[in-house]
Amino acid sequence: MDREEQLSRLWDDIVGEMKRLDGGDSFGIDTYIAPLSLTNDDGKTLTLAYPADTLIDWVELNYEDRIVFAATKVLKGARAITFQEQDAPAAQGSVPPAAEKAPAPKAAPKRKATRGKGTPVSGLNAAFTFDNFVTGASNDFACAAAKACAACLEKMPYNPLFIYGGPGLGKTHLLHAIGNAILASHEGAKVLYLTSEVFANDYIDAIGNGSRAITEFRRKYRKADVLLIDDVQFLSRGTKTQEEFFHTFNALLGSGKQVVLTADCPASQITNLEPRLSSRFQQGMTVSVHQPDLETRTAILRNVCKQWKSEYITDDIINYLARSVTRSVRQLVGACVRLVTFASFAGRCPTMAEAKQYIADIVRESKGGTVTVADIQQRIAGEFDLRLAELTGPRRNAAVVQPRQLAMYLSRKLTESSLQEIGAAFGGRSHATVLNAARKVEADIAKNPELAAVVKKLAAELA
């Protein structure tokens, strides 16, 4: 088998793994990812060639981290990704019939490499900036904290900064925005972005390659000026990896370096995370991102249309998208770009019927997600104007106790979590406490019609 055929088969395996991980997202992967070609693998970086008319900025924005993750699974080792334009015509994908005669979509400017003076930067995507991060009530505090970290690197107002929230709500965008802003104002800074999965795989590879490789591994991570780690909850899968990260974390903070972490839940709720790591993750600033409200979702959609210079997406379609895709910003942007692409190929505005047809799978996924204890905690905290730390903390004043009991009640009713698991999510409370809270809310509902209406409304929204 020659080298070209090997690379082709490897790329097929990576694309197949992406589909498996995404549960069959055939439209996006077949349209935007499969037409790419793998032209080189040097053991550290995969080089992907793309046809000249590919929406490569959107591919990088929405799929680069997923390509890296799938490649790590297939190759059993971490790889960075780099894109280069090829001269060959675009591969055929799943496009509307009008595509053959329609003008090519208007693409955003080509991405520039992100690096400091003489210092290559690993993992940063220049497409993620503070300028194109749409803020609202669901994320404005997290964005402000991220900007403070980027603007005050020498003073480090929050170290570490810990950002948590559900998938697709902008945590990764903020990490990249921090890194890009620091590079813009601190030439030569060593900024390193990666997922905890990549960190773990790097460590496993280093162990397998002997003491010199371990030394190089530690030098790589402990010499960074800024370390940006995504999805840190996956560190809990390995005891040795947690130990190594613990020492890396301490070395960075001890030498005055900035660390920013993201997770899908507060550090105290990460299952099987060592207490010493959990406590250190909480020693700086913890902020959260929530599901965006209707106004923020509408602003995000208008921003996407502006970025892609699309004049075809009507206000009616934007309003439909904003009301139908509510759980994830990533899904929301993906749905909008899918319609922008259709409109660009067809050279006209899609009808409402066409718009509903082309994003039907995304709408179904957005409305059919399984509610979690974390979802309930975030919704209750927002409803009663509380911080999540208050909801899960030790305070027992009346303003906190009733919302906490209500959240426990809904967690028992709407999730499959055990009483013990629910108690653990509320600051390590016992299963008896959860059971008593649920019984108290049931009794209150029976006596208080207003409370019953509130509970019914919240349960309907969450379910």
Using alpha carbons only, how large is the chain's radius of gyration in Å?
Answer: 23
pLDDT tens-digit readout, 198-232: 898 889 888 888 888 889 999 999 989 999 999 99
C-alpha 351/C-alpha 342 separation (Å) is 11
Handedness of CA 370, 372, 378, 382 (dihedral sign): positive
- As a whole-number percent, the residues of the chain with pLDDT over 90 amount to 21
The torsion defined by the Cα of 203, 204, 206 and 207, in degrees rounded to 10, comes to 120
Given a cut of 50, whether residue 193 has pLDDT beyond it is yes
226 φψ region: left (φ > 0), alpha (ψ -120 to 50), beta (else): beta
3-state SS of 273-326? Answer: CCHHHHHHHCCCEEEECCCCCHHHHHHHHHHHHHHCCCCCCCHHHHHHHHHHCC
Residue 385 pLDDT grade (very low, low, confident, very high; cuts 50, 70, 90)? confident
Q: What is the DSSP letter of 223?
A: T
pLDDT in tens, 350-371: 889 888 888 888 887 776 656 7
Place of tokens 């964005």: 143
DSSP code, position 122: B
pLDDT digit string, tens, across residues 5-37: 889 999 999 998 888 776 555 667 877 788 899
Mean pLDDT confidence for 42-66: 77
Q: Residue 130 contacts by C-beta under 8 Å, 6 or more apart in sequence?
A: 143, 146, 147, 150, 177, 181
> Angle 97-86-100 (CA atoms, 0-180°, nearest 5)?
15
Report whether pLDDT(181) > 50: yes
Residue 260 confidence (pLDDT) above 90: yes
Q: How far is CA 213 from CA 117, 206, 217, 227, in A?
A: 26, 5, 6, 20
| pLDDT at 438 exceeding the cut of 80 | yes
| Vertex 398: Cα angle to 394 and 401 (nearest 5) | 50
Buried (b) or exposed (e) across 364-386, using 16+ Cβ within 10 A?
Answer: ebbeeeebbbbbbbbbbbeebeb
* pLDDT tens for each residue of 68-125: 878 877 887 767 788 888 764 333 333 333 333 333 344 443 344 344 433 445 578 8
Q: What are phi and psi of 48, to 5 degrees?
A: -110, 125
- The pLDDT assigned to 394 comes to 84
- Beta-sheet pairing, 119-120 with 115-116: antiparallel
Mean of pLDDT over the chain: 82
